[in-house]
Amino acid sequence: MAEALIKFTDVSFSYSADSPQEFEALTGINLEIEAGEFVAVLGHNGSGKSTLAKHINALLVPTAGNVVVAGIDTRDFDRVWEIRQNVGMVFQNPDNQLVATTVEEDVAFGPENLGIPTPEIHRRVDEALELVGMNEFRLRSPHQLSGGQKQRVAIAGMIAMRPRCIVLDEPTAMLDPVGRQEVMDTVLKLNRQEGITIVLITHAMEEAILADRIVVMEEGRVVLTGVPRAVFSQVETLTQLRLDVPQVTALANRLRQRGYDQIPNNILTIEEMVNVLCQLE
Amino acid sequence: MPIRVEGLSYIYNAGQPMEKLALNNVSLAIEDGEFIGLIGHTGSGKSTLVQHFNGLLKPTKGRIYLDGVDIHSKEITLRSVRQQVGMVFQYPEYQLFGETVFEDVAFGPKNMGVPEHQLAERVEWALNLVGLDIGLKDRSPFELSGGQKRKVAIAGVIAMQPRILILDEPTAGLDPKGRDEVLSLVSRLHQEEKTTIILVSHSMEDIARLATRLVVMANGEIVLEGTPEAVFQHADYLERIGLGVPQMKKLLQALQEQGFDVHPDHYTIEAAEGEIVKILETK
Amino acid sequence: MAMMRNITIGQYIPGESVIHRLDPRTKIIATFLYIVLLFLVNTFSGYACSALLILLAVALSRLPIKYILRGIRPLAFIIILTLSLHFFMTEGHVIFQVGFLKVTQEGVVRGLMMVSRLVLLVVGTSILTLTTSPILLTDGIESLLKPLKGLGVPAHELAMMMTIALRFIPTLIEETEKIMKAQMARGADFESGNIFQRAKSLIPILIPLFINAFRRADDLAVAMEARGYRGGEGRTRFRVLRFTYKDAVALIFVAVFVVVVSIYF
């Protein structure tokens, strides 16, 4: 079996290590992400999920344990730029990622940094804008775009660098429902169509549900991991962690608790619930 | 009648190439003690509408009345209007400026003429209400966590003790835990302090549980109005204009379509549970 | 406040004219030469010739006259002040008298010359900014400064700073409006009181603006690093400036014009 694209081994991380303000944000993390996977990291604010994300592209390095990305240890200073070419990152605030005065120029920023020849830059910008569906907006200024559009431009900017993996740190937290839909559609397309590995950091269960695998974090540790169906059926655990479950799943759980065992414990959608009730006839 | 809006129209950038009709002949009356949920997609005009209630925007056409008095007339000052109609903007933590939490929260009441010796009491009361520890009052607001900052910002508005409180997407950017805390705070204000609440939101689920009346906007107009039950009857229309109905309502409607004898007029998990138990008992 | 969104003084108006298509460097250098000319010339006929050059540029740029004139409007106060100062304060042959105010012939001449120079200066530079987009302007400046890198001029960094500043100006304006409204909703008053009170009332706007600006800068730096930015070394460009024969012609023409006019007038 091929080596995992991203591998965390016994990773711990403390902010302000060895000082009075030392705060251990990650403890004993073991995690492997295969190429082509779509992994969601779920947890409330302060659970350590963003800290985890920043270890994947070497914005942070562990205080204990190690992180290996595409065969490169993130502590290897000289190869940091190689790592960042393999792992792109999109952040929460749509505005604070766009540096240029027009969309196409911003998407070109990454390739420019890589020293790619001009004609190739043009090709990549065209490709990336096409993939995220922002081609008609290429001459617009950032402030003329909606939140969802800005995030798509940020994603295009990453794609233009042709990374193998993209980490998205709460990309929809500041967006309205339309924007959230746009971004999630784009993310799914990148994973399913282009085979890009996706690591999505979020606290929204409607997004985590779309992933191949969910990793739930609490106080710097991984507390639950598995496919969406398996994770969301653990309603009590998730509720204790102050995380949402789909309303139907919570409903199914309540019914089971009242003794109605006919209701299975892994319902995720309205259709499934309706089918179950119909089949009970 | 606290707030009455009559024939309100508002045009952005009037007379210029980017002119836009943001509000089109809107009329609305808000009673004391109501909890209004104002819903609409981005660009529907909901933020523009509420900014007229405290005079931040002036109507292009139409009038706003507070207790029967036109707020732009000489009979009332805007300052008085803004003391009675408080407003919490989106991401209010971006507006914090005080050297200490106390200073920031005291800003509103101070501007409204609350005397020095009463400020401490007010600030303490407001911090208590939002669930922040009084001990934080001498800290710099910028040292606090995101959730705490937001509470400080909300406390800053509540400290003016407005009769009517407008909140524009107060849960934006918060995780489920933070969202629950803010919504329960708003509910407390409504139930215990008897503040009239106008909550602007995208989220049907958030609003459905708390609101006594829903006002749905689209393209600068009010398109639906009424109790949550009444409004959710129009599920198809709401879906078409890009707003959903709560999941539970959809479930019950789907069950009804399959021939089950359920009341589709519920939208909370508890109520849906009750309906489904009825089905299961008949098996 | 809404007026700030509509700053059209010297703002870029897209177009396809000959002037629009010139390399920004050509236009920058031409403008520079033109300014030099204005300061070398000392006669009305000289200014008249300079005006001719401008009219030629305006005609070729196909810009509606109203945009040019808009640039002059804010100068109205300075123009009147300058004229008044020169009219009334210059010693010489009195041609007109109102009360104790004397208007001299020399004063009129001097005043009009100063004003002409001012107006021509403003109109000349606004042709540059009206026909060249901010991106191209910064590209042009960066390119022209690059040879000076050896002398310690950080051409790339300056250009990067300018681009980012330009990118965030509209965003910051929007943010200022939002903050103002939020503070007004809390009873803040920016209009009344003397100058000190009004300055103090700006604190609730300036502090959040600054703090947010620093946060943005932080976020932006991290985002740029995540996209492989590590300074100007080894960077290629999306947009490449290209000098064509039209640029050469324009430059030579302007250079010759400047030399000739400055000698003869």
CATH number, domain at A199?
3.40.50.300
Point out which residues pair with A18 in neighbouring strands.
none
- A221 — pLDDT class (breaks 50, 70, 90): very high
Give chain B positions within 8 Å (CB) of A177: 41, 202, 242
CB pairs under 8 A between B and C: 60
Residue at A232 is within a domain: yes
B173 touches chain A (CB under 8 A): yes
A53-76: b (≥16 Cβ within 10 Å) or e: bbbbbbbbbbbebebbbbebebee
pLDDT in tens, C25-80: 999 999 999 999 888 888 888 888 888 888 888 888 888 888 777 777 888 888 88
Number of independent structural domains in chain A: 1
Residue A281 confidence (pLDDT): 60
Residue A2 confidence (pLDDT): 63
Q: What is the percent of chain A where pLDDT is above 70?
A: 99
Alpha-helix residue ranges (DSSP H) falling in A35-138: 49-56, 80-86, 103-113, 118-132
- C5 — pLDDT class (breaks 50, 70, 90): very low
Single-letter amino acid, residue A248: V
**Kind of pairing, strands A87-90 and A165-169?**
parallel
Per the CB < 8 A criterion, the answer to whether A183 and A152 are in contact is yes
Give chain B positions within 8 Å (CB) of A258: 277
Residue A56 confidence (pLDDT): 95
Subunits with 3+ C-beta pairs closer than 8 A to C = A, B
Subunits with 3+ C-beta pairs closer than 8 A to A = B, C
- C92 — pLDDT class (breaks 50, 70, 90): confident
Single-letter amino acid, residue B171: T
Single-letter amino acid, residue A75: R
Please return the burial class of C166, using the count of CB atoms within 10 Å of its CB with bins 0-12, 13-18 and 19+. middle
Please return the burial class of C80, using the count of CB atoms within 10 Å of its CB with bins 0-12, 13-18 and 19+. exposed
Average pLDDT over residues A134-155: 93
What's the average pLDDT block by block, 10 residues per block, for chain B (283 residues)? 89 79 94 94 90 94 93 91 95 94 95 93 94 92 92 96 95 89 94 94 84 94 92 86 82 88 83 87 77
pLDDT in tens, A50-80: 999 999 999 999 999 999 999 999 999 899 9
Per the CB < 8 A criterion, the answer to whether A206 and A175 are in contact is no
Element (H, E) at B184: helix B176-191
CB neighbour list of residue B2: distance below 8 Å, 6 or more residues apart = B30, B31, B32, B66, B67, B163, B164, B196
Per the CB < 8 A criterion, the answer to whether A111 and A160 are in contact is yes
Instruction: Write out residues 31-60 of A within 8 Å (CB-CB) of B.
Output: 44-46
Residue at A270 is within a domain: no
Residue at A259 is within a domain: no
Instruction: Write the residue in B172, B254, B280 that is nearest to A260 by C-beta.
Output: B280
Domain span at A53: 6-245
For C186, the token pair is: 């809390």
Work out the minimum CA distance from C196 to partner chain B, whole angstroms: 17
Give strand ranges (E) for B170-212.
196-201
* Averaged pLDDT of chain A: 91
Residue at A254 is within a domain: no
C222 touches chain A (CB under 8 A): yes
Single-letter amino acid, residue A255: L
Give strand ranges (E) for B184-252.
196-201, 213-218, 221-226
B133 touches chain C (CB under 8 A): no
User: Tokens 């509910």 label which residue?
Assistant: B187
Other C-beta atoms closer than 10 Å to the C-beta of C180 total 18
pLDDT in tens, A154-199: 999 999 999 999 999 999 999 988 899 999 999 999 999 999 999 9
Per the CB < 8 A criterion, the answer to whether C205 and B130 are in contact is no
In which region does residue B62 sit, left (phi positive, over 0), alpha (psi from -120 to 50) or beta (all else)?
left
Residue A118 confidence (pLDDT): 94
Per the CB < 8 A criterion, the answer to whether A35 and A5 are in contact is yes
- C1 — pLDDT class (breaks 50, 70, 90): very low
Give strand ranges (E) for chain B.
3-12, 20-30, 35-40, 61-66, 69-70, 85-88, 164-168, 196-201, 213-218, 221-226
Alpha carbons C210 and C225: distance in angstroms, whole number: 23
Residue B233 confidence (pLDDT): 85
pLDDT in tens, A198-210: 999 998 888 999 9
Residue A167 confidence (pLDDT): 97
User: Is the CA virtual torsion A121, A122, A127, A131 positive or negative?
Assistant: positive
CATH 3.30.160.60 fits B1-76+163-228, yes or no: no
Q: Is A22 helix (H, G, I), strand (E, B) or coil?
A: coil
Measured between alpha carbons, how far apart are the two ends of chain C, in Å?
Answer: 46
Residue A216 confidence (pLDDT): 95
Residue of B258, B191, B264 lying closest to B232 (CA atoms): B264
Residue C3 confidence (pLDDT): 42
Residue of B19, B6, B81, B36 lying closest to B197 (CA atoms): B36
B241 touches chain A (CB under 8 A): no
Polymer length of chain B? 283
Residue at A115 is within a domain: yes
Per the CB < 8 A criterion, the answer to whether C95 and C105 are in contact is yes
Q: Is the pLDDT reported for residue C8 higher than 50?
A: no
Residue B1 confidence (pLDDT): 65
For A271, the token pair is: 């259709």
Per the CB < 8 A criterion, the answer to whether B232 and B245 are in contact is yes
pLDDT in tens, A149-161: 999 999 999 999 9
Instruction: Write the residue in C182, C189, C205 that is nearest to B89 by C-beta.
Output: C182
Residue A21 confidence (pLDDT): 73
Alpha carbons B258 and A255: distance in angstroms, whole number: 20
Give chain A positions within 8 Å (CB) of C234: 115
Q: pTM for this one?
A: 0.88
CB neighbour list of residue B249: distance below 8 Å, 6 or more residues apart = B232, B235, B264, B265, B266, B267
The count of C-alpha atoms lying within 13 angstroms of the C-alpha of A70, restricted to the half-sphere facing its C-beta, is 18
Residue of B162, B140, B142 lying closest to B93 (CA atoms): B142
Alpha carbons B227 and B36: distance in angstroms, whole number: 9
CB pairs under 8 A between A and C: 94
Domain spans, chain B: 1-76+163-228, 94-161
Polymer length of chain A? 281
